[in-house]
């Protein structure tokens, strides 16, 4: 995808703060970080989202995230860490090239990455389950 910013960054056509690279992935620092060390795992091939990315590439992204997260935890001393992956505008995706967020968390970092729980009834949950299972 010649007009995709993350294709250009992943393939080194645009400079980035790279903290990991191999044949298939580049991990960069997010330029609008939620917290110190917020990084993005970018596949070098273009896939828009979770629905397009092949299983093997997704598994590769998870392996890279684990390795990079361990390094971030060791070097930056974060207290926790979120892995976040947005698909579609409704879910907050703004760059339509698959990416996995690695977000180190610090006590009192004042970020709000978790959701507000809702209260479906037991029947509503069963109905949703049956819809997903096609029953």
CA 74/CA 66 separation, integer angstroms: 12
SS (H, E, C) the chain: CCCCHHHHHHCCCCCCCEEEECCCEEEEECCCCCCCCCEEEEECCCCCCCCCCCHHHHHHHHHHHHHHHHHHHHHHCCCEEEEECCCCHHHCCCCCCCCEEEEEECCCCCCCCCCCCCCCCHHHHHHHHHHHHCC
Asked if 93 interacts with ligand 5GP (CB under 6 A), we say: yes
92 makes contact with ligand 5GP (CB under 6 A): yes
Query: Which one of the spans 61-69, 75-83, 89-97, 121-129 is the region binding ligand 5GP (CB under 6 A)?
Result: 89-97
Residue number with CB closer to ligand 5GP (112 or 119): 112
97 catalytic? Reply is no
Q: Compare residues 1 and 14 and give the one whose CB is closer to Zn ion.
A: 1
Stretch that binds ligand 5GP, among 26-34, 50-58, 69-77, 119-127 (CB under 6 A): 26-34
Binding of residue 38 to Zn ion (CB under 5 A): no
26 contributes a contact to Zn ion by CB under 5 A: no
Residues binding ligand 5GP: number (CB under 6 A)? 12
């Amino acid at each position: 995808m010649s007009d995709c910013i993350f294709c250009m960054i992943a393939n080194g056509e645009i400079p980035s703060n790279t903290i990991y690279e191999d044949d298939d992935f580049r991990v960069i620092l997010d330029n609008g970080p939620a917290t110190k060390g917020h990084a993005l795992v970018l596949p070098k091939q273009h896939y828009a989202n979770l629905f397009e990315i092949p299983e093997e590439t997704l598994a590769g992204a998870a392996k890279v995230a684990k390795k990079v997260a361990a390094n971030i935890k060791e070097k930056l001393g974060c207290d926790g860490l979120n892995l976040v992956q947005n698909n579609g505008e409704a879910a907050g995706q703004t760059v339509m090239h698959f990416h996995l967020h690695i977000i180190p968390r610090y006590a009192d970092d004042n970020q709000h990455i978790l959701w507000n729980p809702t209260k479906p009834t037991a029947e509503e949950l069963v109905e949703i389950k049956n819809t997903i299972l096609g029953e």
